Homo-oligomer: A and B are copies of this chain.
Amino acid sequence: MAAAELTAHALIAQHRPTLDQALEAIRTRAYWSPHPEHPKAYGENGSLDAAAGKAAFDAVLNTRLDLGQPGTDDWVGGEVSPYGAALGVTYPHADVDELLPAMTAGQRAWRDAGAEVRAVVCLEILKRISDRTHEFAHAVMHTSGQAFMMAFQAGGPHAQDRGLEAVAYAYAEQVRTPGTAEWSKPQGKRDPLTLTKSFTPVPRGIALLIGCNTFPTWNGYPGLFASLATGNAVLVKPHPRAVLPLALTVSVAREVLAAAGFDPNLVALAAERPGEGIAKTLATRPEIRIVDYTGSTAFGDWLEANARQAQVYTEKAGVNTVIVHSTADYKGMLANLAFSLSLYSGQMCTTPQNLLIPRAGILTDEGPKSFDEVVADLARSVDGLLGDDARANALLGAIVNPDVKARLEAAAGLGEVALASREVSNPDFPDAVVRTPVIVKLDGAKPDDEAAYMSECFGPVSFAVAVDSAADAIALLRRTVREKGAMTVGAYTTDGEVEEAIQEVCLEEAAQLSLNLTGGVYVNQTAAFSDFHGSGGNPAANAALTDGAFVASRFRVVEVRRDA
């Protein structure tokens, strides 16, 4: 590393305090983030302001993004923004027989650098990504369809937080075992037995990150940084509709690795031709020892069953439930739920789908409300929230792909429509498909309705399901989580026994529970360093973001011992 532009010493001096704060945050789980959420916070100390970020994004459109990777045999790309325009960016297509061996060349030096240097190199990557948050925001917006502010926050600081959190967990896990130990075992009157031992965290091999369409950075960074920080090379296979945010990420990672004297091929991109489906091929290559995946249950299950040579971390699909039993803040509940259903057109793995409401109605601070009143009031709240087109566009974003639109349209036929979906026009992006959520009434006692509410209907579709009682709701919650999985569960109740019973189901079925949220925190949002995203204990995901289990199996510890 003699010629390195970034020395380990300088990187440690710069980033160790941040790493220490992150380590403290994951211990206390109090609020913390080093990444500003406000767009105006950027523009100083080397970070791009709004105009510069937009210019940087525009400059990459219709270009070939040459990452300087070995084994590039073609240039591919076909992203079209959910807001209308083709991005026109092409990316290297890899001959994996050449690229994969090249990715292992730098692994020894990366391993020998040790956990702390790897951590601060990762933090430098995150710092440079953070500086370009405005640019990344446009890239996320025009691949995921998120509205700008959401793409900025979720795709920028929140994703960077999740990456940093993964680095902190990875670092903490690796330093649980000391680098060396002197071992001296008493032998009574004889001399003790003494050994000198060294312990080295060693990588698994090459990690594969399979990115998703809706949150390419937020869902991608935890696995990417957890693997890299534990010494593995990382091959990034983005969703074909959301390549740019991860390609830019790879570009920054390669730039920092090279500047720090490491082989940039420790991080590489695997873009693909339309319909090429390289994920299956890559995931089962013997060199690939770790797979991180966010996406459909079908492919997640396939990976778990077939990528047997690898540690496989999946976030799949689930059916998220909110039990609406009673509330001391009816207006707050309605506003909170309306926002949760609307945000990013319900295209979050955490968006509530089934609202379980007793058919006899609920008790509230505004008196008893019938099932129909609750549903109608919720529909009115959504309407009110999205009545203004500018505000609707800012919350909803664009429908990410035609499948979501098709499901939305089909949902209206599943039952009585309590709130019809409405087209919203977007003056800035006339070609964007923008839709408000649909709420459909179903009956938990009708066997015909079960197929609808027991399947994931990804997108702006919610079912108001009439149930017989709190106990009925809780039993359905349990069955839904157990059979279909859930990334989130919400509940509104003022009854201690009902709350206790809901909590018990969530503990037994391993589902993350938000209770009586009526303010500015929503069931579909989790904060890094404090909230777990998923539990890893129900069918929706086999891993949680982020805990010890998410990092501990990404490396092994090799001991060398000798007589002292």
Contacts and interface: CB of A to CB of B under 8 A. Distances in A.
B516 A31 contact: no
Contacts of A27: 176, 178
A556 B530 contact: no
Contact of A187 (B111, B520, B537): B520
Interface in A505-564: 506-508, 510-521, 527, 530-532, 535-537, 544, 547-549, 552-553, 556-563
Given A27-B176, A29-B181, A177-B29, A532 B557 contact: yes
Contacts of A422: none
Contacts of A562: 514-517
A454 B20 CA distance: 47
A265 interface: no
A535 B560 contact: no
Dominant secondary structure of chain A at its interface with chain B: mixed
Contacts of A184: 30-31
Contacts of A16: none
Interface in A1-57: 26-31
A173 interface: yes
Interface in A353-399: none
A549 B559 contact: no
Contacts of A537: 202, 204, 556, 558
B513 A535 contact: no
A200 interface: yes
Interface stretch (A71-79, A191-199, A341-349): A191-199
Contacts of A197: 29, 530-531
A519 B562 CA distance: 10
A178 B544 contact: no
Interface string A144-180: 0000000000000000000000000000010011100
Nearest to A561: B514
A183 interface: yes
Nearest to A535: B556
A197 B183 CA distance: 42
Contacts of A450: none
Contacts of A287: none
Contacts of A423: none
A183 B31 contact: yes
A217 interface: no
Interface string A81-111: 0000000000000000000000000001001
A558 B505 CA distance: 11
Given A193-B521, A507-B558, A31 B515 contact: no
Contacts of A548: 173, 176, 548, 552
B560 A513 contact: yes
A185 interface: yes
Given A30-B184, A176-B27, A513 B563 contact: no
B183 A507 contact: no
Contacts of A520: 187, 193
27 contacts: A29-B177, A29-B183, A29-B197, A31-B183, A31-B184, A31-B186, A181-B530, A183-B527, A187-B520, A195-B521, A199-B532, A202-B510, A202-B537, A204-B537, A304-B308, A513-B558, A513-B561, A514-B560, A515-B560, A515-B561, A516-B563, A531-B559, A531-B561, A536-B556, A547-B557, A549-B553, A552-B552
Closest 10 CB pairs between A and B?
A: A537-B556, A549-B552, A29-B181, A515-B562, A548-B552, A549-B553, A552-B552, A31-B185, A513-B560, A510-B556
Given A177-B547, A548-B548, 13 more contacts: A27-B176, A30-B182, A183-B527, A183-B530, A193-B519, A193-B520, A202-B537, A515-B562, A516-B563, A517-B563, A535-B556, A535-B558, A536-B553
